[in-house]
A and B are shown apart, each in its own frame.
Chain A
Amino acid sequence: MLYFCTALYTEAAPVISRFQMKPAGGRIGSVYASDEAILVLTGIGPVAAAGALSEALTLFPPAETDMLINIGICGAPAGFCEAGTWLRIHKITDAATGRDFYPEILFPSVFREAALATVSTPMKASQEAASATSGASVSTSASAASTVLSDMEASALYQTGQAFFSPERMLFYKGVSDFGVSEGTRLNPSDVTALIEKALPDILSEAEGILSVLPSDPVLSEAAETAVTKLCKLLSASVTMEHEIRLLAAYRTFRCGDAAEFFMAFAAGIEGPVVRREGKRLLEQLRKDCLA
């Protein structure tokens, strides 16, 4: 499942439409949901973002294999790039506390990378972003990686999300809408929606690519799980014994391929559930057989 976060409806609209989401509650923010994805419309600013995401994660608790994707507009230093440029964020500075957070980028991205500072007020965006990261540039950089963009939600989303998502499962994409100096350079709402529409296919392709690689397969096959469960019952296994049986099944799987057949054959030799003392003896036998 993909968990999208956007601050504004103009940013959310293309995602809602792509996944055919329906409103799904929310008092702090608004939550939209479909079978494949959740979208949290957080509202503007770090407090709104943290509150809305917390609420959504309570309403729809994520699994370990799920992914958080923040898509939104941001400000950039004048001259850094053209308005409408999309960037993938590898460092987020919380301007209020000075703390840094690092989403893990494990796979090459089609987007150029940048650092981002999350600020509390749009008027001071460029100054706050600059002071949050002062002294942080490394002149030896071959890329413009240390250039700092500014938004108003990312650090709050990262801090809230990190209790649920690992760093490689939190993706931050920002489209540059303004340069923090002149109103004239800002995008209007329909431009913002068009900007998101333009980047969305690439963002989804990256997210799906990552999901195809990140490990989520259990060690034991379904058949091996069934065999382990059956054997545990037959041996009247305690929690500790069950743990050892699972470990042996995993060991057998790594050493010889699937453990299902071996465990089923062992279980077939046991008539009905036995008392625990006998179960322990049989477990010792299983251990010897597995290690032979």
Chain B
Amino acid sequence: MNSSEKTALRKPYSRIYVEEAAAGHPRTAQILAKFPESVVIPIGDYKNVFNRPRQPVQLQKEAPSLILALQKPPYLYAGPAVCQDFGESHFYYTSNVMNCPFLCDYCYLRGMYPSGDIVLFVNTEDTFCETERILKEHPLYLCISYDTDLLALEGITGFFGEWVGFAASHPALTIEVRTKSSPNVLNYPVLPNVIYAVTMSPEAVIERFEHRTASLTARLRFAKSIIESGRPLRLCFDPMLWVPDFETVYGEFFERVFSEIPGEAVKDIGVGTFRIAADYLKRMRKNHPCEVTAYPYTLTDGVYGYDAERLSEMLSFAKAALTKYVDEKKLFFS
């Protein structure tokens, strides 16, 4: 082989590990049917594959395998303090998926998981059962696209469609699905308790740091389709990254967003800058050295972020820019 020739990586999802316990589940058969060419490898417990030591996480993320498994309790978790709760008192999150098909340089999953493969928990019925149990105690605000981008995987899993069906018959439940993709969701019923949260970033940031995600143009088109069809839309300007010429880049970006999305039609807006747990950043710097991870952040209470001066510059700028388009009450900062 010529030394300049590079071997191509395997195709994404060309290998599918299937937990013995999940092998007989109907959803397993449905997912496998979508990948007739893939090599299927039976496994005992998904952790034996997902938690292998010293995995090549970055290369796996480029061309992930799927791992089909059964989720074990707990199925729902109380929302962590570092996340925005948008004023909701019973804020929980759940994930039927571990890992994401997108490759954002700043993604905390790169520091959290020992693998770049994607785990799909096929027993969604157990999560629904647990959700119903909690709903008997109090209403629930649930983030369902946590530790993944659920909509980006909808073509494989169908999980989002199931959640919409579940939300339709449980009005005390509000679900938020956050995404950087731009799918067509117009076939799902319009429900006031299904919030579509679209993460927006300047095109230059998307191109440089949010690999494989939808372009800004596509995300705006998606956001518009949400509003025009009467669905609740949340915009997320989070994480904002410091880039040279920050004010020009983000100023023009906000202008573009609100030239296409009427501010009054947006349910609310989350705003935040890049921040990450110290342990995760340490691992990311080792496994995925890049411009975002190499930035010399400041450590405060176990969390790395921009130093106070830069942070205040970025947030004040965002606040001043955004209040030109939306009522301040709609802004949630973290």
Q: Which residues of A contact B (CB under 8 A)?
A: 90-91, 100, 102, 104-108, 113, 115, 133, 135-143, 145-146, 162, 165-168, 205-206, 208-210, 212-215, 219, 244, 247-248, 250-251, 253-255, 287, 290-291
Contact = CB atoms under 8 A, between A and B. Distances in A.
Contact of A140 (B9, B28, B49): B28
B40 A140 contact: yes
Given A138-B18, A145-B41, A167 B294 contact: no
Nearest to A112: B39
A267 to B, nearest CB: 18
A51 to B, nearest CB: 22
Given A105-B15, A215-B59, 13 more contacts: A100-B43, A102-B41, A106-B59, A136-B42, A138-B20, A140-B28, A140-B33, A145-B39, A146-B42, A209-B5, A212-B6, A254-B294, A290-B296
Contact of A250 (B8, B44, B294): B294
A255 B208 CA distance: 10
B41 A115 contact: yes
Contacts of A91: 41-43
Nearest to B50: A102
Contacts of A206: 7
B23 interface: yes
Which range holds the interface residue count of chain B?
35 or more
A219 B290 CA distance: 9
Interface of B is mostly: loop
Interface string B151-187: 0000000000000000000000000000000000000
A163 B256 CA distance: 52
A136 B44 CA distance: 8
B55 A104 contact: yes
Contacts of B52: 102, 104, 167
A162 B54 contact: yes
Interface in B279-316: 285, 289-291, 294-296
Given A100-B48, A250-B289, A250-B294, A135 B55 contact: no
